[in-house]
Amino acid sequence: MGWLFLKVLFVGVTFLGCLYPLVDFCCSGDTRGQKPNFVIILADDMGWGDLGANWAETKDTANLDEMAAEGMRFVDFHAAASTCSPSRASLLTGRLGLRNGVTHNFAVTSVGGLPLNETTLAEVLRQAGYVTGMIGKWHLGHHGSYHPNFRGFDYYFGIPYSHDMGCTDTPGYNHPPCPACPRGDGDGPSRTHERDCYTDVALPLYENLNIVEQPVNLSGLAQKYAEKATQFIQHASASGRPFLLYVALAHMHVPLSGTRLSADRRGRRPYGAALREMDRLVGQIKDKVDRTARENTFLWFTGDNGPWAQKCELAGSVGPFTGSWQTHQGGSAAKQTTWEGGHRVPALAYWPGTVPINVTSTALLSVLDIFPTVVALAGASLPQDRHFDGLDASSVLFGWSQTGHRVLFHPNSGAAGEYGALQTVRLEQHKAFYVTGGAKACDGKVGPPRLHEPPLIFNLEEDVAEAEPLEEGGAEYERVLPEVRQVLADVLVDIAGDKTSRADYTRDPSVTPCCDPHRKACRCHTT
Ligand SMILES: *[C@@H]1O[C@H](CO)[C@@H](O)[C@H](O)[C@H]1NC(C)=O
Ligand SMILES: *[C@@H]1O[C@H](CO)[C@@H](O)[C@H](O)[C@H]1NC(C)=O
Ligand SMILES: *[C@@H]1O[C@H](CO)[C@@H](O)[C@H](O)[C@H]1NC(C)=O
């Protein structure tokens, strides 16, 4: 008995390392077996149509499809923004970018990150006795106190931003293709410059505060994530405390990893092979949950935004959400836009014995809901001094209700106008655009920004492709318009009266992660 206790304590202490004081670790036996564990898996740039359970043309997601049959699948589930950093900031704060300050992406040289006086989900859960871990892409600031280990995560393993924001020795598939990192021992950055490629500094891989590889080996990354996730679940379960694990995958963002893919003898396109690799990785994490803490773990799978259309055949599928009003004007209607293809994402909830099996939910829900839902299920409480945009969706998850949001706001994520501005309003089945614009498409063209006053209004129940706006002056249009105006005015008043934060987007080359400044591309000595 004493030996077991010591062993558990030892595992916990080594695992949490220097980042978690011993005193906090001691007295958590009272929560054993009561609070649920949470695993949140966030895919990157995955299209709604990339999930086989959503879209019959896709046949590459056997594990996810099985998870859908064993849990709940959401078909009207939305990212909180349609680009990386804002979407992730909203997941971890339950607040839109206009409140949490993150309205566009952070750079390799960004000094700041998610504002320090925003409270993250990990901070709230850690306060409630949870062991917290994050694996994968952070992209909420890497310099100083913006690092995940200072934002509520006891454990971190992953890359600080997107994996196209640094060179590697295994460049994989990108469009246009990018070169491998420069080699040799010469001082300073390399001098190669390719359009759309980061060639000066190699992509780093962190474990907690240390760079453990630079450049990271992209071919082995999925396997490493699976191993680290498995170890985290194992150690956290052994510690007797409930856990939160947030896994932000590199898939399906470019570059798509190369080695295993070129060995795909069936000659299927790289995107499908990468989708299968992601599906296997999710399957490995789910298997570990099933073997370790099956009935006490809530697994939530979703995506950060829609496909990156400018990557052509290396971009995913929007399914039926083609945004054809926009694509006829030019540009893409996917990632970086407020068209459905930009933010309607695959979403699955899996919790054997608690979430009903093989159910499709049409409730209007959002990544913003993860924070309030998880906090409620953990028996913790939301910070009282600020407002949240998400809602507690647990009654939908338990199958007691079909009611999600009546109203949802989609912020601009780069395609047109001011970053973060609430340009598009979802009101039940209707969707109103005050600004339209297409992101860069495969043909290199963008759709020009256009203001609409009065707004364009689509009925998504009859027109999922957003092809034909309602006729202005028609009965349906005139019935919907006043309420659209009202809910938009209300949220802006609410935000004006809320505590909001401002992100520091200044840049300084000296904050770039660098293992060894004396080696080309900042290579670590060991790689
Ligand atoms: C990268 O990882 C792959 C897969 O794990 C491995 O086969 C390969 O040898 C690694 N390459 C380097 C340079 O370490
Ligand atoms: C899930 O539901 C679908 C449609 O209702 C049905 O065809 C299928 O057999 C069910 N699958 C399982 C595993 O229960
Ligand atoms: C963050 O700090 C700023 C500056 O002190 C303050 O105006 C703002 O209300 C704070 N935000 C939150 C969410 O507390």
If pLDDT is split at 50, 70 and 90, which confidence band does 257 have?
Answer: confident
Please determine, for residue 239, whether its predicted confidence score (pLDDT) is greater than 90.
yes
437 part of a folded domain: no
Q: Is 502 in the pocket of ligand 3 (CB under 6 A)?
A: no
pLDDT digits (tens, 9 = 90+) for 132-146: 999 999 999 999 999
**Weakest mean pLDDT among 269-273, 389-393, 453-457:** 269-273
72 part of a folded domain: yes
Q: Is 69 in the pocket of ligand 2 (CB under 6 A)?
A: yes
Can you tell me the mean pLDDT for 301-324?
Answer: 97
Residue with tokens 């320090």: 116
Q: Residue 383: nearest ligand to its CA? A: 3
Q: How many CA atoms lie within 13 A of 446 on its CB side?
A: 13
Please determine, for residue 260, whether its predicted confidence score (pLDDT) is greater than 80.
no
> Residue 97 Cα, ligand 3 centroid: separation in angstroms?
14
Which amino acid does the sequence have at 497? G
Q: Which of 221, 259, 281 to mutate to test the pocket of ligand 1 (most atoms within 8 A of CB)?
A: 259
| pLDDT at residue 31, rounded to an integer | 39
470 part of a folded domain: no
Helix (H, G, I), strand (E, B) or coil at 148: helix
Residue with tokens 């339209």: 436
450 part of a folded domain: no
| pLDDT at residue 28, rounded to an integer | 36
Domain count, the chain: 1
The enclosing H or E element of 349 equals: strand 347-350
CA distances from 70 to 226, 256, 358, 406 (A): 21, 29, 5, 27
114 part of a folded domain: yes
Please determine, for residue 51, whether its predicted confidence score (pLDDT) is greater than 90.
yes
* Domain encompassing residue 363: 34-261+269-405+502-511
The CATH number given to whatever domain includes residue 40 is 3.40.720.10
If pLDDT is split at 50, 70 and 90, which confidence band does 416 have?
Answer: confident
| pLDDT at residue 272, rounded to an integer | 95
Q: Is 360 in the pocket of ligand 2 (CB under 6 A)?
A: no
Please determine, for residue 476, whether its predicted confidence score (pLDDT) is greater than 50.
yes
455 part of a folded domain: no
pLDDT digits (tens, 9 = 90+) for 328-366: 999 999 999 999 999 999 999 999 999 999 999 999 999
337 part of a folded domain: yes
Query: Which atom of ligand 3 lies closest to the CA of 117?
Result: 1
Can you tell me the mean pLDDT for 493-522?
Answer: 97
Query: Which atom of ligand 1 lies closest to the CA of 223?
Result: 5
The one-character DSSP state at 48 is G
If pLDDT is split at 50, 70 and 90, which confidence band does 2 have?
Answer: very low
Which protein residue has the closest C-alpha to ligand 1 atom 11? 217
522 part of a folded domain: no
Can you tell me the mean pLDDT for 34-44?
Answer: 96
